Amino acid sequence: MILIDGKKEAAILREELKKEVLDLKARYNKIPGLTVILIGELAPSKIYVRNKEKSAKEVGLKSEVIKYPDSVDEITILNKIYELNKDDSVSGILVQLPLPKHINKKKVIEAIRPEKDVDGFHPQNVGNLSSGYESSIPCTPLGCYFLIKKVEPNLSGKKAIVIGRSNLNGKPMTQLLLKENCTVTITHSKTKDLKRECLKGDIIVAAVGIPELVRGDWVKKDTIVIDVGINKTEKGLVGDVNFEEVSKVAKALTPVPGGVGPMTIACLLKNTIECFKRSI
Ligand code: NAD
């Protein structure tokens, strides 16, 4: 079984990005900039943002974090986004989710100029991705895509099963696999007989949030299994895939932690650089 080492792949990607930033700086005398807006004191959000800032600096990006208290009003956030939209030194804007209840997520996402939407959540980017046009692509599914391609460069005709239909993971993952000419089945909480669907997959991407949902007897031999899930349990962090069982049958599998997670941040840096390149 191939253990897909997301940490290693993310480090390789970051090295490539570092070189690209140096090259862009030499050519344009400018560097790409990422601005993250963090609202409130949620511990996981603070950790994510700290990691994003650290990684951005490591590859040589200009990185800025703007912090607001939980009580900030919506208009303050929208006005800050409008200001950043106009700032040429800012290539990418990210508003860390989740937001406090009194702030409308849709309004915030739609306020970001699609050209600076490094998360790929703006409806224009969602539409572009599904139409096969150039767009920012949500970082986690983009990372999964790179990991799958490392194991199997030619995905044409493969049967892919995506578990979960969120805007963050399942739906964009489906679009990326479709673009590679996979035959894709999207499954979700109302799917009947998920095991039977999974057994048809040459590729399975699990993005559910249920610890160890995918069992060893749900997976056929030679399947590439990508585990997006991050679940806190009594035995520590586990994914949506039962690692012990599935590693005995699958062709390749991502661990949790150390699989998809590290790729997500590396892809955010890549998206920031892509936004910069499209802007010059
Ligand atoms: P979500 O809650 O938005 O969506 C979950 C999806 O799973 C839904 O579409 C739902 O229909 C489906 N689902 C629920 N129960 C199901 C069942 N019994 N069978 C089949 N499908 C079922 O979640 P999300 O934001 O897409 O995140 C999914 C998981 O990925 C979570 O564990 C989250 O923590 C993790 N995550 C990881 C990363 C990373 O970088 N590795 C990034 C984002 C999210």
Q: Which domain CATH number covers 231?
A: 3.40.50.720
Nearest to 93 by CA among 65, 122, 118: 118
Task: Report percent pLDDT > 70 for the chain.
Answer: 100
Query: Average pLDDT for residues 177-184, to the nearest whole number?
Result: 98
What residues does 39 pair with on adjacent strands?
68
Helix (H), strand (E), coil (C) string for the chain: CEECCHHHHHHHHHHHHHHHHHHHHHHHCCCCEEEEEEECCCHHHHHHHHHHHHHHHHCCCEEEEEEECCCCCHHHHHHHHHHHHHCCCCCEEEECCCCCCCCCHHHHHHHCCHHHECCCCCHHHHHHHHHCCCCCCCHHHHHHHHHHHHHCCCCCCCEEEEECCCCCCHHHHHHHHHHCCCEEEEECCCCCCHHHHHCCCCEEEECCCCCCCECHHHCCCCCEEEECCCEEECCEEECCECHHHHCCCCCEECCCCCCHHHHHHHHHHHHHHHHHHHHC
Q: How many residues does the chain have?
A: 280
d(CA 213, ligand 1 centre) in Å: 11
Query: Average pLDDT for residues 190-218, to the nearest whole number?
Result: 98
Ligand 1 atom 15: residue of nearest CA = 189
d(CA 166, ligand 1 centre) in Å: 7
Query: Average pLDDT for residues 171-176, to the nearest whole number?
Result: 98
Ligand 1 binding pocket includes 173 (Cβ within 6 Å): no
Ligand 1 atom 42: residue of nearest CA = 140
**pLDDT for the residue numbered 130:** 96
255 and 143 co-located in one domain: yes
143 and 224 co-located in one domain: yes
What's the chain's average pLDDT?
A: 98
124 is catalytic: no
How many angstroms separate the Cα of 80 from the Cα of each of 31, 247, 251? 21, 47, 47
Tokens linked to 193: 């007989």
Instruction: Please tell me the total count of domains within the chain.
Output: 2
Domain assignment of residue 89, yes or no: yes
d(CA 261, ligand 1 centre) in Å: 14
104 and 175 co-located in one domain: no
- In one-letter notation, the amino acid at residue 128 is N
| Domain membership of residue 69 as a residue range | 29-113
143 and 256 co-located in one domain: yes
**pLDDT for the residue numbered 248:** 98
151 and 235 co-located in one domain: yes
72 and 164 co-located in one domain: no
Whether residue 111 contacts residue 82, with contact meaning beta carbons closer than 8 Å, is answered with yes
**pLDDT for the residue numbered 69:** 98
d(CA 17, ligand 1 centre) in Å: 29
What residues does 92 pair with on adjacent strands?
34
Among candidate residues 57, 79, 113, the one where a domain is terminated:
113
163 and 235 co-located in one domain: yes
pLDDT tens digits, one per residue of 31-87: 999 999 999 999 999 999 999 999 999 999 999 999 999 999 999 999 999 999 999
149 and 92 co-located in one domain: no
Query: Average pLDDT for residues 266-276, to the nearest whole number?
Result: 98
109 and 198 co-located in one domain: no
**pLDDT for the residue numbered 208:** 98
pLDDT tier, 241 (very low <50, low <70, confident <90, very high otherwise) = very high
Among candidate residues 79, 113, 147, the one where a domain is terminated:
113
Query: Average pLDDT for residues 120-135, to the nearest whole number?
Result: 97
Ligand 1 binding pocket includes 174 (Cβ within 6 Å): no
Ligand 1 binding pocket includes 168 (Cβ within 6 Å): yes
Ligand 1 binding pocket includes 166 (Cβ within 6 Å): yes
What residues does 233 pair with on adjacent strands?
236
177 and 107 co-located in one domain: no
Domain assignment of residue 249, yes or no: yes
Ligand 1 atom 39: residue of nearest CA = 261
246 and 147 co-located in one domain: yes
pLDDT tier, 278 (very low <50, low <70, confident <90, very high otherwise) = very high
Ligand 1 atom 23: residue of nearest CA = 208
**pLDDT for the residue numbered 249:** 98
Catalytic residue among 62, 80, 116, 119: 119
How far apart are alpha carbons 201 and 220 in whole angstroms? 7
Domain assignment of residue 4, yes or no: no
pLDDT tier, 172 (very low <50, low <70, confident <90, very high otherwise) = very high
Ligand 1 atom 40: residue of nearest CA = 261
**CATH code assigned at 44:** 3.40.50.10860
Task: Report percent pLDDT > 90 for the chain.
Answer: 100
Query: Average pLDDT for residues 220-230, to the nearest whole number?
Result: 97
Domain assignment of residue 268, yes or no: no
Catalytic residue among 96, 117, 175, 240: 96
d(CA 30, ligand 1 centre) in Å: 38
Domain assignment of residue 213, yes or no: yes
**pLDDT for the residue numbered 201:** 98
52 is catalytic: yes
pLDDT tier, 122 (very low <50, low <70, confident <90, very high otherwise) = very high
Domain assignment of residue 251, yes or no: yes
178 and 226 co-located in one domain: yes
